Amino acid sequence: MKTTKPTALDKFRAAATQREKAAEQRRKEMEARHAQGKEDMKGAIDRLATSLKKEDVPVNNVSQGNIAGVGVGSQGEPGVKKKKKTASFISFMTRQGKK
């Protein structure tokens, strides 16, 4: 007896069915927890928001500026000198059109 190889569409449909079953199972579990009075996603979001509020200071804050090499001035970062552009050889050639 010869078995046929499943096509890509068959594999996709099987995977979609498994995803739907898993999503339904998660939904039932969440409804059961909610019925018991346990927290849902709102509690998790609140905990995340409070943990993010702990640090209100920007990461790139220099404060009084007493750090050498940061900022502008005598101890600040040195300026950048741009190189002068030189004309390329092609710019000196003239274009020859069709005759």
The answer to whether the predicted template modeling score (pTM) of the entire model surpasses 0.85 is no
Reported in sequence order, the residue ranges of 1-99 that DSSP labels E, i.e. its strands, are none
* Lowest-confidence pick of 17-21, 80-84, 94-98: 94-98
- Contacts (Cβ under 8 Å, ≥6 apart) of 65: 71
Position 76 pLDDT exceeds 60: yes
pLDDT tens string 9-37 = 999 999 999 999 999 998 898 888 878 87
**In the predicted structure, residue 56 carries a pLDDT above the cut 70:** no
> In the chain, where are the structural domains located?
9-51
User: At residue 55, what is the residue type?
Assistant: E
